[in-house]
Amino acid sequence: MENLVRRTFDGRKIKYKDLDQQHLSNIIWFNKIFIGEEKSGFEKALIDLKFGGEVLPYRPHVDFKLECKILSKQGMLKESGEIYFRNELIGNRIPC
């Protein structure tokens, strides 16, 4: 894990060991929503190891405009900023 890197939406490379709980949680939510994976194996294992398995509510990065547009277009992002997936409140993004 020491040298494994992930490329962010804006092209930066970040080591997995340096990802914080919110970033790992967002990766898990993104994969679940947009890719259809119920679990992001490696990211979920890191959340389990580093943060006791707690996946935080989804908070899309404020600069990732395409993500917010897609959420809105699919009816998941409400005007209030709340994000719903399969009729369950999973997070928020104000502003988005």
Q: Which residues of 42-62 are buried (b: 16+ CB within 10 A; e: fewer)?
A: ebbebbeeeeeeebbebbbbe
pLDDT of residue 79: 87
Do residues 48 and 84 both lie within one domain?
no
Range of the domain at 82: 57-96
Do 7 and 51 fall into the same domain?
A: yes
**Do 45 and 71 belong together in one domain?**
no
pLDDT for res 20: 92
One domain for residues 47 and 62: no
In a 3-state reduction of DSSP, which class is residue 77? strand
Query: Per-residue pLDDT for the chain (96 aa), expressed as one digit of tens each?
Result: 567 888 887 888 989 889 999 999 999 998 888 888 765 688 889 999 999 999 999 998 777 788 888 899 999 999 888 999 999 999 987 655
pTM of the model: 0.83
